[in-house]
Structure 1
């Protein structure tokens, strides 16, 4: 699994033009079941996304298609982790439990 930190690198006025495309991009990632959760970082510096387990190459390729990244409005930091303890709702993602 990954925690993905998106940090805006452009002024808010410039972001307003591309954010609708980014919102559509995020929706597509949920449609493909890649994202588990996402939301705005406070203060409004960027966003946080939690993804399902996948290869790092697949994640990097997916993130590279984000309109914010394509337009150089933001950059990503990726933290990989193995879920070994989860709430019951995420039990299927717990990599320490034999399925």
Structure 2
């Protein structure tokens, strides 16, 4: 399991120029089963994605994000092995 933290370089306004393409990219991540959840940070300095799968595949997919292609955001990937999860979220456990 991976937590991906995106941080905008030049604020949300720069991200807005590529938001529609980024959302289409997110939908592809969900369709492939790679992404489990995503959303914006508050305050809006970037976003967070919860992902599952192969690290190399995740890295390749992140590189194809319009935010990455246009230099809008940096990405930090943290691998996590959850040992406890709330009822209904058992899939998150390692």
Fold match, TM over 0.5?
yes
TM-score (norm 2): 0.90
CA distance in 1, matches of 2:12, 2:89: 35
Aligned residues: 94
CA distance in 2, matches of 1:24, 1:5: 18
Aligned partner of residue 84 in structure 1, secondary structure: coil
**8 Å contact kept, 2:11–2:45:** no
Gapped runs of 5+ residues in structure 2? none
Instruction: Point out 4+ residue stretches in structure 1 off by more than 3 angstroms.
Output: none
**Equivalent residue number for residue 45 of structure 2:** 45
- Structure with the greater alpha carbon radius of gyration: 1
CA distance in 2, matches of 1:16, 1:91: 34
Aligned Cα RMSD in Å?
A: 1.3
**Equivalent residue number for residue 16 of structure 2:** 16
Gapped runs of 5+ residues in structure 1? none
Whether 2:56 is the aligned partner of 1:57: answer yes
Structure 1, residues 35-54: CA drift from partner, whole Å, max 9, x if none?
Answer: 111111010000011112x2
Whether 2:34 is the aligned partner of 1:34: answer yes
TM-score (norm 1): 0.86
Moved more, 24-33 or 6-15: 6-15
